[in-house]
Amino acid sequence: MDLTIFPPGQGSKLSVKDNQWLHFENRLTKLEKDFNKHHEVMNALKEVAEVKHLVRKAYSVNHPNHSISSSSSHLGKILKCNFNIQKVPEVDIQMLEVYRQLEFDNVDGGVWKQGWDLTYDEKQWHPNRKLKVFVVPHSHNDPGWLSTFEKYYTFQTQNILNTMVTKLAEDRRRKFIWAEISFFQLWWEDQSKITRNLVKRLIHDGQLEIVSGGWVMPDESISHWIPQLTQLTEGHQWLKYNLDYTPKSSWAIDPFGLSPTMPYLLKKAGLENILIQRVHYSVKKRLARQKQLEFRWRQLWDNDGSTEIFTHVMPFYSYDVPHTCGPDPKICCQFDFYRLQNFGLSCPWKIAPRAITKSNVAERAALLLDQYRKKAQLFKTDVVLAPLGDDFRYTHFTEWDAQYKNYQKLFDYMNQNQKLNVQIKFGTLSDYFDAIREKHNLNEFPTLSGDFFTYSDRDDHYWSGYYTTRPFHKRLDRVLLSLLRASEILTSIAWTKGNDNLVEGTLAQRLSKARMWHSLFQHHDGITGTARDEVVIDYAKKMIMALNNSAHVLQQSTVHLLKTPQESSVNIDAVYISLDESRLRHTSVGDKHVIILRDESPLKKVILYNSIPRQRTKVQTLVVSTPFVKVTDRMGQPVQCQLSPIWIGPAALTVARYELSFLVTVPGFDINLPKIPGFNQIQVVPNAQEFSITQRPELSASFGKSGLLKALRVSNTTVPIHLEFVKYGTRGTGKDKSGAYLFLPDKSEPDLVYIDNKCIIHLITGPIVSKVFVEFAHVRHTCILYNSPGSDGLGLHIHNEINISETQNYELAMRLSTDIASGDQFYTDLNGLNMIKRQRFPKLPTQGNYYPMAASTYIEDKRFRLTVVTAQPLGVSSMASGQIEIMQDRRLLQDDNRGLGQGITDNLLTNHIFMFVLEKKKSFCTASTPPTNHPSGVLSLYGHLASEELLHPIIAMHPHNSLPFNLNAHFSPLRYDFPADLSVVSFRVFPIPEGAGKGIGMVLHQAALDMCWNDNSYLRYFNVSESVEVDLTKFLNYIDDWVISKAPLTFHNVGPSLKSPIVNLCPHQILPVLFHKIQS
């Protein structure tokens, strides 16, 4: 392998000694310079770091590579944070505690089936205290569900937006809100300058409000927070540069459960209010009883409220008109004037709406006002929000007229009748929130922490099936996440070196399209797997195009950085380098590049790119055409390697391909031909025999007679970990059944998947890799240990190749059973950003105890912690003490009556990748462990590194044989390694708002880690400093003299320049900064 491109690297860097001296000298100079400006510097640091109130500790671990951060660099400075791992944040409502208290009894509440009979005293309103009602027209447009994104636009959405402009312009009293920028952007491209200016006027005048402003209304369960942020950024950027508009309020009426991650991102992006709808009906009832449907939602770890955002929960069953005016859907439906008899849509309650006339307006107004008054009883204020809309509403002029004209007659009557003591009008979402803020201090509202999973809309119908539905596409999402991010980072670095054509023209368009398509899939019917078959295919094809676009830009950036001489011309449409793994079809699980070595082509070079900002060591595996190979580094020195066969079936090998594994510390290596190592050890294990594999003295795995994991051994202690596969069926005839959304198993305890002890077990052992492979019905199961000092050596890797396409109403899960005394508690991640404590409740059915696992889960006791990290999102539970159960795939023959109208029978061969990290707790260590009553959890360092390893793997690439230029052997743009707990989430080129040219937006994230679980003998390979200080002018070549400014998380405007380039980050903190050149 001839070269490696990666941010940290060694290459032309200064030596470690020189690095340390330079860093120390810079620090001394800085201290001398700022000594007389001590207060000014401290204020700057406080401003940048969002300092709070906690004095932080710093961990410093010896590391062969100097890092940006070390404890000595603080020299007595105090960093204050709003996170204290040993302090339980105080809130009024903690959702786990609410779950402990709820009975989930589902009592029939009468007309409000999931509530109770609401009454009120008319005297509570009077001329000095009127009820204020905002009727908010809206149309929920799914960017793909029953039809594809483009079909929806062609046949429905463009008509909605066309008529919206006309009908709002007819009467300044009319209002409307819109959420999905993906549709709005498509429509905008077709509009004349006159229409565009009219839309801008409608927004300026407050008639039209863009809510949330994301590309889509994203799923909040299994989506990862990085693409969640990408889709939000895409929307906000579009709004800024086309409408000069920034959203103020968020609207999340359809995601199937809500996470605190989105409120955190929205808050950091500058939004002030959010509205949510799909919350468990028992939770809604509890909040409504206590008038707590409006609250200040804050992060689980927040001790001072700095992350909180004002939140409104819609109280009733749905966001449609029958369930939004008040508690009685039979009455509310009569005020959905699109259901007038001539439109063809009727009310299920058999009482049709009536057009408003002079003769019936008094009676109809009284009936509707009664519902508004009853709804008001559920809130602390005298302000009522009444949404007026549904899926794909307002497609035709007649519907606009029916709704707006009939409601205006009702408004006019109510407002003119002083005895009613009501002020009612059309409004936007922010009109409603502004009215609350005008009359109330937000401190009057309770604080809440936690999430709203798992969602149930009625009975025991828990929406936990979609956590796993169509896992093939969930895996594809994470592959695209990695490649798109990697391409953006490398393109941005290449741009800093003057390669302007990478961020302009067709290459910029390719990356933009890739972001749009990935963002589209974050839609709550996209990554969830809850769309029609043809729509899923369309999503998959778009993601394959996004992968290809990202790969093209990545290889172009690589060539621009490595070509010699630099003046060599590059064809921006040419492909000079191919990825090691590609997906040519929308059903492909990933095809590995085969390195063909022949007499006429005895030497091959491989490029390795590391998108993580620090040096990484790992075992790299490539596929070669011959066993007769050797590996050398770029200096020509041989590197130890291992060849392994590729099994194509039970006891069947291929002689055309072999796996070549070797340890790399990026930068890279060469492959050439002379030496001929053979296989180390290949076995077909005799029937009914137990065995073990090991790679490092600290870690080994034992297996039972069936070839499945039986135990892991760490630090001379063996922990039983029995791996098995289990299956669920669905309910019998006449009962509601599982489908795309719902998990409704036929019984609480699944059946074991029978595995014959006579099945063939394949075992490969060698100096670098040990591997166990076993195949049985529906699963090809592989366990791998690597002899690596990097993060890939931290645990046991699991690869499950799943194919259940021949089954019927079948749900397959992988279950781990241990003797870890975890009781009824376990932990899952929140969109890969934070960890939350879960509790198994016997009062809930199996499906109610399943939760989303976007990236990781763990169980623990006072001795051990078992963390499972995943490369794809799935559903997870702990159905018994010491147990982790992860759903693998599900195939359902029927619809579950949630609107999709089909089962899930398009299952594809799917590769699942996991890593099991078993850790022993340090003796007498409590400093970094949350108290037992803390509602959140914290990953260990190894858990964090393992998750990062799966999400952002080193990317291998293969240069084509005949290039029109030479390639340098390495490229290393970083001057220092970042510590292991500091991540560069994104690093991409943006246009500068209100300015000229472009800049680079960088988002940093400081992870919170529990350091009580780490093996000291392995820590020497990683650098960790909890209190991270970064000099933003020094970490990267080529940007020394650039201006560094504050920015919101979606970079829709530029804040003031940083007073000091040195920033400090607290655990959990996300910090966006914008680098831009000084304009001459």
CB atoms within 10 A of CB 926: 12
Are residues 68 and 1035 in contact, defined by beta-carbon separation less than 8 angstroms? Answer: yes
Q: What is the mean pLDDT of residues 856-869?
A: 98
Domain with 831 in it:
693-950
Query: Are 902 and 851 part of one and the same domain?
Result: yes
Boundary residue ending a domain (445, 469, 499): 445
How many angstroms separate the CA atoms of 70 and 1030, rounded? 10
Q: What is the mean pLDDT of residues 724-744?
A: 95
Q: Which of 8-12, 200-204, 623-627, 931-935 has the lowest mean pLDDT?
A: 8-12
pLDDT for the residue numbered 784: 98
Whether residue 61 is predicted with pLDDT greater than 70 in this model: the reply is: no
Whether residue 669 is predicted with pLDDT greater than 50 in this model: the reply is: no
Are residues 740 and 892 in contact, defined by beta-carbon separation less than 8 angstroms? Answer: yes
CA nearest to 587, candidates 363, 164, 908: 908
Residue 31: inside a domain: no
How many angstroms separate the CA atoms of 320 and 679, rounded? 65
232: domain CATH number is: 3.20.110.10
Residue 632: inside a domain: no
Are residues 543 and 521 in contact, defined by beta-carbon separation less than 8 angstroms? Answer: yes
**Within its chain, how far is the Cα of 530 from the centroid?**
17
Query: Are 1048 and 904 part of one and the same domain?
Result: no
- Residue 29 CB-half CA count within 13 A: 6
pLDDT band at 18 (very low <50, low <70, confident <90, very high): very low
Whether residue 15 is predicted with pLDDT greater than 80 in this model: the reply is: no
112-134 exposure pattern, b = at least 16 Cβ within 10 A, e = fewer: bebbeebeeeeeebeeeebbbbb
Are residues 769 and 784 in contact, defined by beta-carbon separation less than 8 angstroms? Answer: yes
Please tell me which residue, 450 or 86, carries the higher pLDDT value. Answer: 450
How many angstroms separate the CA atoms of 839 and 841, rounded? 6
Are residues 639 and 990 in contact, defined by beta-carbon separation less than 8 angstroms? Answer: no
**What does the CA dihedral 850, 851, 852, 856 come to, rounded to 10 degrees?**
-100
Query: Are 937 and 1033 part of one and the same domain?
Result: no
Query: Are 983 and 941 part of one and the same domain?
Result: no
pLDDT tens-place string over residues 335-380: 999 999 888 899 999 999 999 999 999 999 999 999 999 999 999 9
Whether residue 284 is predicted with pLDDT greater than 50 in this model: the reply is: yes
| Tally of residues, the chain | 1080
Whether residue 52 is predicted with pLDDT greater than 70 in this model: the reply is: no
pLDDT band at 976 (very low <50, low <70, confident <90, very high): confident
How many angstroms separate the CA atoms of 894 and 736, rounded? 10
pLDDT for the residue numbered 241: 95
For the chain, the helix, strand and coil percentages under 3-state DSSP, each to the nearest 5: 30, 30, 45
Active-site annotation, residues: 254
CB atoms within 10 A of CB 205: 11
Whether residue 1052 is predicted with pLDDT greater than 60 in this model: the reply is: yes
pLDDT tens-place string over residues 547-575: 999 999 999 999 999 888 777 789 999 99
Please tell me which residue, 669 or 905, carries the higher pLDDT value. Answer: 905
Whether residue 679 is predicted with pLDDT greater than 80 in this model: the reply is: no
Residue 34: inside a domain: no
Whether residue 671 is predicted with pLDDT greater than 90 in this model: the reply is: no
Whether residue 682 is predicted with pLDDT greater than 70 in this model: the reply is: no
CB atoms within 10 A of CB 347: 18
Whether residue 11 is predicted with pLDDT greater than 50 in this model: the reply is: no
- Copy the structure tokens of residue 348: 């299920």
Q: Which of 73-82, 226-235, 721-730, 929-938 has the lowest mean pLDDT?
A: 73-82
Whether residue 1021 is predicted with pLDDT greater than 90 in this model: the reply is: no
Query: Are 912 and 827 part of one and the same domain?
Result: yes
Which residues share a beta bridge with 907?
Answer: none
807: domain CATH number is: 2.70.98.30
Q: Which residue type does 530 have?
A: T
Task: Give the strand pairing for 691-696 and 699-703.
Answer: antiparallel
Q: Which of 2-16, 76-90, 334-348, 1047-1061 has the lowest mean pLDDT?
A: 2-16
With 0.85 as the threshold, say if the pTM is over it: yes
Are residues 329 and 339 in contact, defined by beta-carbon separation less than 8 angstroms? Answer: no
Q: What is the mean pLDDT of residues 429-450?
A: 98
Given CA atoms 1052, 435, 277, 446 in this order, what sign does their dihedral have? positive
How many angstroms separate the CA atoms of 1068 and 52, rounded? 13
**Within its chain, how far is the Cα of 813 from the centroid?**
22
* Long-range Cβ contact pairs of 115-124 (< 8 A, separation 24 or more): 115/284, 115/285, 115/288, 115/315, 115/316, 115/327, 116/285, 118/327, 118/374, 118/375, 118/377, 118/378, 119/374, 119/377, 120/373, 120/374, 120/376, 120/377, 122/373
Query: Are 728 and 839 part of one and the same domain?
Result: yes
How many angstroms separate the CA atoms of 582 and 361, rounded? 65
Residue 7: inside a domain: no
Query: Are 907 and 1042 part of one and the same domain?
Result: no
pLDDT for the residue numbered 56: 34
- Copy the structure tokens of residue 484: 């798109």
Please tell me which residue, 317 or 688, carries the higher pLDDT value. Answer: 317
Segment holding 858, helix H or strand E = strand 856-860
Query: Are 927 and 1022 part of one and the same domain?
Result: no
Q: What is the mean pLDDT of residues 46-51?
A: 37
Question: What order of strands is seen across the sheet that includes strand 607-609?
Answer: 577-579, 955-959, 607-609, 3-5, 970-971
Query: Are 878 and 744 part of one and the same domain?
Result: yes
pLDDT for the residue numbered 311: 99
Which residues share a beta bridge with 876?
Answer: 851, 886
Boundary residue ending a domain (445, 462, 495): 445
pLDDT tens-place string over residues 874-917: 999 999 999 999 999 999 999 999 999 999 999 999 999 999 99
pLDDT for the residue numbered 653: 80
CB atoms within 10 A of CB 246: 18
pLDDT band at 1079 (very low <50, low <70, confident <90, very high): low
pLDDT for the residue numbered 6: 29
How many angstroms separate the CA atoms of 1024 and 978, rounded? 9
Q: What is the mean pLDDT of residues 927-950?
A: 93
Whether residue 16 is predicted with pLDDT greater than 60 in this model: the reply is: no
Boundary residue ending a domain (445, 477, 502): 445
Residue 672: inside a domain: no
Residue 265: inside a domain: yes
Q: By percentage, how much of the chain surpasses pLDDT 70?
A: 89
Q: How far apart are the first and last CA of the chain?
A: 43
1031: domain CATH number is: 2.60.40.1360
Q: Which of 159-168, 241-250, 636-645, 669-678 has the lowest mean pLDDT?
A: 669-678
Q: Which of 265-274, 502-511, 631-640, 802-811 has the lowest mean pLDDT?
A: 631-640
Whether residue 38 is predicted with pLDDT greater than 70 in this model: the reply is: no
**Within its chain, how far is the Cα of 361 from the centroid?**
49
Whether residue 441 is predicted with pLDDT greater than 90 in this model: the reply is: yes
- Copy the structure tokens of residue 260: 């605190």
SS3 call for 105: coil
What is the 3-class SS of 378-437, one letter each residue?
Answer: CCCCCEEEEEEEEECCCCCHHHHHHHHHHHHHHHHHHHHCHHHCEEEEECCHHHHHHHHH
Residue 104: inside a domain: no
DSSP 812: E
pLDDT tens-place string over residues 301-316: 999 999 999 999 999 9
Q: Which of 170-179, 595-604, 1058-1067 has the lowest mean pLDDT?
A: 595-604
How many angstroms separate the CA atoms of 697 and 1043, rounded? 49
Quote the mean pLDDT of the chain. 89
pLDDT for the residue numbered 51: 31
Query: Are 299 and 186 part of one and the same domain?
Result: yes
Query: Are 943 and 984 part of one and the same domain?
Result: no
Are residues 1075 and 1000 in contact, defined by beta-carbon separation less than 8 angstroms? Answer: yes
pLDDT tens-place string over residues 502-545: 998 999 999 999 999 999 999 999 999 999 999 999 999 999 99
How many angstroms separate the CA atoms of 65 and 615, rounded? 8
Q: Which of 50-54, 82-86, 798-802, 1005-1009 has the lowest mean pLDDT?
A: 50-54
1058 burial via Cβ count (<10 Å: 0-12, 13-18, 19+) = buried
Structural domain count, the chain: 3
Residue 765: inside a domain: yes
pLDDT for the residue numbered 1024: 81
Query: Are 921 and 1029 part of one and the same domain?
Result: no
pLDDT tens-place string over residues 578-628: 999 999 899 999 999 999 887 666 678 899 999 999 999 999 999 999 888
